[in-house]
Amino acid sequence: MQDSFEVSASTGTYAVTVGDQLLADVVREHPNAVYIVDTILEDRLPPEAKRRIRIDALEANKSLEYAPHLISELRKAGADRSTHLVAIGGGIIQDVVTFAASIFMRGLPWTYMPTTLLSMVDSCIGGKSSINAAGYKNLVGNFYPPKKVLVDVSFISTLDAEMIAGGLFEAAKICYASNYQAFLDYLACSPGLKMTDEQAVNVIRHSLLTKKWFIEIDEFDQKERLLLNFGHTFGHALEAATDFGISHGVGVGLGMLVAAQYAKRETELTDAGKDHVAHLIEHVKDMIGPRAERVLQSPAHVDLDLAMEKFEFDKKHKSDSYRIVIPNREGALALVSVSKTPETRRKILGAFSAAFDEISWPYQIPQVVTPA
């Protein structure tokens, strides 16, 4: 069971294969590659993969300060201009290897095997890295796609429910950002916390093919691709405000909920718009709302004033306006600029509160303090 398609980038075309049991094939094809693997997955690597570098998938290692260590490990492993790298891991491993592969001797070819659902449905294509620097999250990064992406659904068995839910939120985001029909098609693939390998392949393929349109039309994040920030600006704020007690994927789910509540409260939605937004809200609630199986623990409390403070500092904003992706009147997504006024801040805080009310998660009542 496997399926392949191609993604075009300015640096050339790369093939994406979604299937199971792909790891052994890679090692057969690249016996002399340097394998860079998430430490907790190293025991899955066949012994034939001799040159290997382990990386702990920690936020601290996804940093410019950590890069010299990895470069030094590559040098010690004997990497030269002709060396192929194979990265095996989730988003952190992908970020670190995208960056290191792009700069080592001015660029090595590499293969990427995503191992978290989030990286399988979303980040594995597009070629972006996000790297922390000087204490700032994702302040630096670049574009350097792999030569080949191999999505092996066998790795899903290593994930817990929260990681699966997080991945599905990113997939839902991509499909909803594309159009309502793509979102319905996604739901028809039976996304859920327990999927068969075949269901997983279908969900991943649909999500990646939907994302492919965005990255081919807008490789460098200038226009269409910006819609894929849906849920992210609010979500990042919640991740940061809980000191990353809320994971990235769940943050995106909550962020979509905040954006949907903002649209419900501040936009005159058409009947179709109301319907689409409600459908999105239901999907998020199914996973983390009061009806969910409680696989996701809500944090002890969320301080929405702190979330608002984090939101203020998002690097995508302009000096006088917030830039957020929210449903328009028809329920379709749009990147909008909203003036930074006390009134706007109240509206955004209101949307945050309404989102948490919707899923019955506890939060600290916001004070609506206006920053100087």
Binding site for its own copies (CB under 8 A): 10, 64-65, 67-69, 71-72, 75, 80-81, 99, 102-107, 128, 131, 133-136, 139-143, 220-221, 315-316
Task: Tell me the Ramachandran region of residue 231: left when phi exceeds 0, alpha when psi lies from -120 to 50, beta otherwise.
Answer: left
Q: Whose Cβ is closer to its own copies: residue 49's or residue 67's?
A: 67
Q: How far is the CB of 266 from its own copies (least distance, A)?
A: 26
Q: How far is the CB of 247 from its own copies (least distance, A)?
A: 23
Cα 48 from chain centroid (whole Å): 32
Q: How far is the CB of 105 from its own copies (least distance, A)?
A: 6
Q: How far is the CB of 106 from its own copies (least distance, A)?
A: 5
Q: Whose Cβ is closer to its own copies: residue 140's or residue 193's?
A: 140
Q: How far is the CB of 246 from its own copies (least distance, A)?
A: 24
SS3 of 263-318: HHHHCCCCHHHHHHHHHHHHHHHHHHCCCCCCCCCCCCCEEHHHHHHHHHCCCCCC
Q: How far is the CB of 10 from its own copies (least distance, A)?
A: 6
Q: How far is the CB of 311 from its own copies (least distance, A)?
A: 16
Query: Strand, helix or coil at 174?
Result: helix
Report helix angle 271-288 to 161-178, nearest 10: 170
Q: Whose Cβ is closer to its own copies: residue 84's or residue 264's?
A: 84
- Tell me which DSSP letter residue 60 carries: G
Q: Whose Cβ is closer to its own copies: residue 105's or residue 182's?
A: 105
Q: Whose Cβ is closer to its own copies: residue 132's or residue 247's?
A: 132
Q: How far is the CB of 339 from its own copies (least distance, A)?
A: 18
Q: Whose Cβ is closer to its own copies: residue 134's or residue 300's?
A: 134
Nearest Cα residue to 101 out of 136, 58, 148, 153: 148
Instruction: Report the DSSP pairing between strands 12-19 and 2-9.
Output: antiparallel
Distances (CA, A) of 327 to 86, 128, 206, 334, 371: 39, 25, 22, 6, 27
Q: Whose Cβ is closer to its own copies: residue 5's or residue 220's?
A: 220
Burial of residue 72 (number of CB atoms within 10 Å: 0-12, 13-18, 19+): exposed
Q: Whose Cβ is closer to its own copies: residue 142's or residue 360's?
A: 142
Phi then psi for residue 109, to 5 deg, are -75, 145
- Which residue's entry shows tokens 């996804």? 62
